[in-house]
Amino acid sequence: MGDTTELIGKGLETVDDIHYSKGEQEADRTARHLADMQSDNWLSKSIRPMITIWAIVINSFLWIGQTLGLDVNESVMGAANGILIAIIGFYFVSRGAEKVFSRRSAASIQIEKMRTRHELKEERKENRRARKQ
């Protein structure tokens, strides 16, 4: 019985190591985006806008073709629309996450500065009290 429990425990640990939670996936994705934006490479900074523009252009051609009466397969149109929605959603969500993280880091820096100033003021007050006694 002990061997079975141990084997199941090891199996669960392995599955847990392989499977990322949604929070871990989002954190990993955000870390990659931040690394891309801090890179000096022009392509790594521009890949998301370029893919978004590409998807819009492809969908525009499909829509125009369908409007002009060309035989555009409905499944191709549906897949292209789905891809466009996913790309635009991903682009704006990731941009929003970048802004949130930059604001959080700026706020934490400000809080730390304020905390340091407060600690210095308290230290000065203690020094004055000590000198008066």
Counted domains in the chain: 2
Shared domain check, 50 and 5: no
Q: Which domain holds residue 128?
A: 39-132
Shared domain check, 114 and 74: yes
Q: What average pLDDT does range 67-87 have in this prediction?
A: 87
Q: What average pLDDT does range 65-73 have in this prediction?
A: 87
Average pLDDT, the chain: 77
Q: What average pLDDT does range 45-60 have in this prediction?
A: 85
Q: What angle in degrees, to the nearest 10, is found between the helix axes of 42-67 and 22-38?
A: 110
- Are 37 and 45 in contact by the 8 Å Cβ rule? The answer is yes
Q: pTM of this prediction? A: 0.45
Shared domain check, 54 and 23: no
Q: Report pLDDT for 37.
A: 67
- Are 91 and 46 in contact by the 8 Å Cβ rule? The answer is no
Who has greater pLDDT, 68 or 11? 68
Q: What's the CA gap between 31 and 77, in Å, rounded?
A: 33
